[in-house]
Amino acid sequence: MDLKTVSLVSAVYNGGFSLGLMASPNAAFGPNSPTPYFAEEGGDLPQFFGRAFGTGLLAISIPSLLATTDAEREFALLSSAIGAIAVWPLMIANAASKSGTFKTAMWTVQAVLHVVPMSIFVVKSKLLDRIFKKKSE
């Protein structure tokens, strides 16, 4: 997959979740939503943090849309790769949760499927090459 396509995938993947979260976490991902990740409606505080998470995802997705060269796309994908890696343990924890707060089946599917874009973002951004190059310098 070329960098232009991967950048578009990043923008759609992160941007899609961001739009739902910024609009209304309950409506997009609450118990009565088409994509229920949570077993109960969130109040003002969870709604705030859901929207804040959405703005972070939007910030990750926009550079991939604005990049015009492969070098810019590769660099923009670094934030997608790092964000995907950072959120993955939370997905796994939600999938394994016994609290009743999370729709564990949905989180299990998300955690498994998330490996695909996460791996692509890591490879195409050359994240590991950058980390190990810095260590060897």
pLDDT tens for 73-106 read 999 999 999 999 999 999 999 999 999 999 999 9
φ, ψ of residue 102 to 5 degrees: the values are: -105, 145
pTM over 0.85: yes
Domain with 67 in it? 3-136
- Per the structure, how many domains does the chain have? 1
The answer, yes or no, to whether residue 134 has pLDDT greater than 80, is no
Cα distances (Å, whole numbers) of residue 95 to 16, 43, 91, 106, 134? 21, 22, 6, 8, 34
In the chain, % of residues over pLDDT 70: 97
For residues 28 and 21, the answer to whether their CB atoms sit within 8 Å is yes
H helix or E strand, kind and range, residue 104: helix 104-125
Distance CA 104, CA 109 (A): 9
Q: Quick one: pLDDT at residue 136?
A: 62
Q: 59: number of CA atoms within 13 Å, CB side? A: 9
The answer, yes or no, to whether residue 53 has pLDDT greater than 90, is yes
The answer, yes or no, to whether residue 38 has pLDDT greater than 90, is yes
In the chain, % of residues over pLDDT 90: 95
Distance CA 106, CA 110 (A): 6
- Cα three-residue angle 57-107-39, rounded to 5 degrees: 100
Q: Report helix, strand or coil for 41.
A: coil
